Amino acid sequence: MNATRLLAVAVVVASIAPAFAASPEPPAGASSCSGCHAANAAANTPVPRLAGRNAAEIVTQMQAFRSGAQPSTVMDRIAKGYSDAEIAAIATWYAQQK
Amino acid sequence: MSPRRFNRREFLTSNAAVASLIAAPALAQAAPRVVVVGGGFAGASAARALKKADPRIAVTLVETSRTFTACPFSNGVIGGLRDIKAQQFGYDKIAADGIQVAFATATGVNQQARTVALDSGGPLSYDRLVLAPGIDIRWDALPGYTEAAAEKMPHAWKAGEQTMLLRRQLEAMEDGGAVFMAAPANPFRCPPGPYERACLIAYYLKTKKPRSKLIVLDAKDQFSKQRLFQNAWKELYPDHLEWVSLSSGGKVTSVDPATNTLITDFGNHKAAVANVIPPQKAGRIAEAAGVADRSGWCPIDPVTFESKLQANIHVLGDATIAGAMPKSAFTGNAQAKVCAAAIVKLLAGEKPSDPKLINTCYSVIAPDYGITVADVYHPVNGVLTAIPGGGVSPTDAPASFRAQEAMFAEGWFNTITSEVFG
């Protein structure tokens, strides 16, 4: 692709751009989760998805992982890296995702 | 892609034309352009995350190969547990997101004109450039280990034909043959990778060539998940795997491909099969773009992943010096999503938020035996630092825990490849 063609593409994209809105930014620490908790429902994994789950449920689980009340393989280690406020923000954000 | 190549004069003219257009007020509202070089876990994730975060951004992904062969789980291919096809992915779904995919090799970057030169077509103009070039082998670092030598003594540290070469050599070897692996000093792609590979080669030998043995010659005394690996070796592979540390004379100082020999200060080891994992550096374009320092790797800002050496160029994944974050596919994917969010803010003239990132690395020791390292990272005094509480799987876990981690390992591979390529 040459520069002129690229600019032409850019102009076309710009002209249709107002039809889209930028999606709200995930809170700190949220975007890494989808490495294991699939954003794509079709992914073949026993790990549950987070998108669309009840926020309070995610918070309760994370706190149980962090305290050790809920046994896990990696989540006990990961949950210790997050504060209550961060967990709440992440849970709220995932609850709003599809 | 235009098949036409620009000559030098056309290239300069075109750059000047682009520069003047950028400056023109009429185009001030044009869609921002981000070029991503490298279609691996980090680069492809960045391209998709950018497009998802703001569909107005014109994203171009530059990648040499039409088929991506994933390194994670490729040790399973070497051990005969997995087909190489399970490792391979295309770019159709990425293109369907509205990302321009340019199958070409980036050959240079003009930081002033903000253009990337390609070996065919191009150049591409950018407002922000993301480099995710992975690794290159340092062909000058291990005497005797040339590109020709790698055809005889495969590194298999870039998945694909090299992976299959090592597998074929193991399959062709007579029972009783000595297999050697040379493991490099830090830093290198996938810190637990050589030891996972050692396990799966030992698994292959134990089940298919029981009179053979793997000897790992290491340039280090310490390595990732060491106690877990060493416990598992003792338990599962006592007759098929031996590790020779740096202080026991394990450092390979040169190789002789003509005789398939690995040379240390203490002796020569003639191998039936030799897997040489050599010293590495950031992929070639990093040096050409001026984002690699004298170490061969790329220093970055831990909030935006912008190069500390060049403005408007971000570097991701294995190529970076990312503090405590290891060079892994999980890391590359996590960094890409943080970097994409930062770029969206920078393009809007806003301040990027302080990030938090996870790395979770699975290593498969046997089909029903997995181990992990998992950590959460954030910037502390400009360096990505692990938050206390993370670390490796418990050393005293029961077999059921190891089996669960092996199952989750596969789930992770399916999930991340579906996010990046599916």
- The single residue listed with the structure tokens 């191009």 is B122
pLDDT tens digits for range B115-146: 999 999 879 999 999 999 999 999 999 999 99
pLDDT tens digits for range B172-207: 999 999 999 999 999 999 999 999 999 999 999 999
Which letter, b or e, does each residue of B362-380 get, where b requires 16 or more Cβ atoms within 10 Å of its Cβ?
bbbbbeebbbbbbbbbbbe
Q: Indicate the residue type of B319.
A: A
Residue B5 has pLDDT above 90, yes or no: no
Cis amide leading into B123 (omega within 30): yes
- The answer to whether residues B371 and B405 touch, using CB atoms and an 8 Å cutoff, is yes
Number of residues that this document lists for chain A: 98
Q: Do B389 and A81 touch (CB under 8 A)?
A: yes
Residues B1, B282: Cα–Cα separation, whole Å:
27
pLDDT tens digits for range B76-106: 999 999 999 999 999 999 999 999 999 999 9
CA distance A69 to chain B (A): 15
Residues B18, B358: Cα–Cα separation, whole Å:
39
Q: Name the residue among B316, B229, B255, B298 with its Cα closest to residue B50.
A: B316
- Residue of B55, B360, B378 lying closest to A36 (CB–CB): B360
Residue A53 has pLDDT above 50, yes or no: yes
Q: What is the pLDDT of residue A11?
A: 40
pLDDT tens digits for range B150-166: 999 999 999 999 999 99
Report DSSP state, residue B300. B
Number of domains in chain A: 1
Backbone angles phi, psi at B185, to 5 degrees: -75, 165
Chain A environment of B414 (Cβ under 8 Å): 38, 43-45
B365 pLDDT tier (thresholds 50, 70, 90): very high
CA distance A60 to chain B (A): 19
Q: Structure pTM? A: 0.90
A22 pLDDT tier (thresholds 50, 70, 90): low
Q: Name the residue among B343, B378, B285, B318 with its Cα closest to residue B49.
A: B343
- Residue of A3, A13, A77 lying closest to B125 (CB–CB): A3
Q: Do B356 and A32 touch (CB under 8 A)?
A: yes
Residues B51, B248: Cα–Cα separation, whole Å:
51
Which structural domain, as residue segments, surrounds residue A17?
3-96
- The answer to whether residues B335 and B36 touch, using CB atoms and an 8 Å cutoff, is no
Query: Residue B407's CB: how many other CB atoms inside 10 A?
Result: 16
Searching chain A, which residue's CA lies closest to the CA of residue B29? Answer: A14
Searching chain B, which residue's CA lies closest to the CA of residue A74? Answer: B374
Q: What is the dihedral of CA A23, A28, A29, A33, to 10 degrees?
A: -10
Q: What is the pLDDT of residue B30?
A: 82
Select the residue from A4, A15, A20, A25 to test the B interface by mutation, using most B Cβ atoms within 10 A.
Answer: A25
Strand B88-89 and strand B68-69: the pairing is antiparallel
Q: What is the pLDDT of residue B18?
A: 43
Residues B196, B198: Cα–Cα separation, whole Å:
5
pLDDT tens digits for range B16-71: 444 444 444 344 468 999 999 999 999 999 999 999 999 999 999 999 999 999 99
Percentage of residues in chain A having pLDDT higher than 70: 77
The pair of three-digit structure tokens given for residue B113, joined into one six-digit string: 């004109």
Taking residues B277-291, report their average pLDDT. 98
Q: Is A7 on the interface with B (CB under 8 A)?
A: yes
Residue A15 has pLDDT above 70, yes or no: no
A37 pLDDT tier (thresholds 50, 70, 90): very high
Q: Do B53 and A40 touch (CB under 8 A)?
A: no
Q: Is B103 on the interface with A (CB under 8 A)?
A: no
Backbone angles phi, psi at B146, to 5 degrees: -105, 175
CA distances from B189 to A41, B163, B357, B371 (A): 30, 15, 18, 18
CA distance A13 to chain B (A): 7
Q: What is the pLDDT of residue B123?
A: 96
User: Which helix or strand (DSSP H or E) is residue A60 part of?
Assistant: helix A55-67
Q: What is the CATH number of the domain that holds A65?
A: 1.10.760.10
Residues A30, A33: Cα–Cα separation, whole Å:
6
Mean pLDDT (chain B, rounded) = 94
Percentage of residues in chain B having pLDDT higher than 90: 92
- The answer to whether residues B223 and B191 touch, using CB atoms and an 8 Å cutoff, is yes
Q: Name the residue among B215, B199, B207, B197 with its Cα closest to residue B175.
A: B207
Select the residue from B97, B353, B414 to test the A interface by mutation, using most A Cβ atoms within 10 A.
Answer: B414
Instruction: Give the ranges where B256-384 is alpha helix by DSSP (H).
Output: 284-288, 329-347
Cis amide leading into B326 (omega within 30): no
Q: What is the pLDDT of residue B356?
A: 98
Q: Do B376 and A6 touch (CB under 8 A)?
A: no
Taking residues B366-370, report their average pLDDT. 98
Query: Could you tell me where the beta strands, DSSP code E, fall in B152-251?
Result: 178-183, 213-218, 241-244
Q: What ipTM describes this predicted complex?
A: 0.90
Taking residues B375-402, report their average pLDDT. 98
Residues A3, B208: Cα–Cα separation, whole Å:
56
Q: What is the pLDDT of residue B303?
A: 98
